[in-house]
Structure formats: C-alpha cells, structure tokens
Amino acid sequence: MLDVIGDNIRQKRKERGYSQEKLAFKAGIDRSYMGYIENGKYNITILKLAQIARALDVSISDLIY
C-alpha cells in the first residue's frame, strides 16, 4: 500500500512538473523525507498525506487509490 501511495504522489508531482524539492517545500516536508515517501519506505501519517495532497491540489483519495 505504501508503494501505491508513493507511486501516486510521484505521478501527480511529475504531471505538475514539480521536482521533489519543490513539492516538499510546498508541502512543508523535508526533501529527503519526500523521497522516502515516494519510494514507499516510510509509513506516512494522514496529516503529511493531507499536506502533500494540498500542495498537489488533489484530494487525499487521489493519492491512495
């Protein structure tokens, strides 16, 4: 499940032309942490997921499914 979320975040980020660094800045998350999230290595909290969804202008469900 974590890899699906990470893949979805990466896909949405690339669709918007954001680097990991830019998305991390917009979401208020450390860039290296963003890399771990995209690689499915960290169990992300709902709060962090909401921050990323807001930065990408998508719903949380767009990142989960």
pLDDT of residue 11: 97
For residue 25, tell me if it sits in a domain: yes
End-to-end CA distance of the chain: 9
CB crowding 17-56: b at 16 or more within 10 Å, else e:
ebebeebbebbebeeebbbebbebeeebeeebbebbbebb
If pLDDT is split at 50, 70 and 90, which confidence band does 53 have? very high
Domain that holds residue 20: 2-58
Please provide the average confidence, as pLDDT, over all residues in the chain.
Answer: 96
Mean pLDDT of 2-17: 96
Question: The pTM is what?
Answer: 0.93
Total structural domains within the chain? 1
pLDDT of residue 42: 87
pLDDT digits (tens, 9 = 90+) for 21-50: 999 999 999 999 999 999 999 899 999 999
- CATH at residue 28: 1.10.260.40
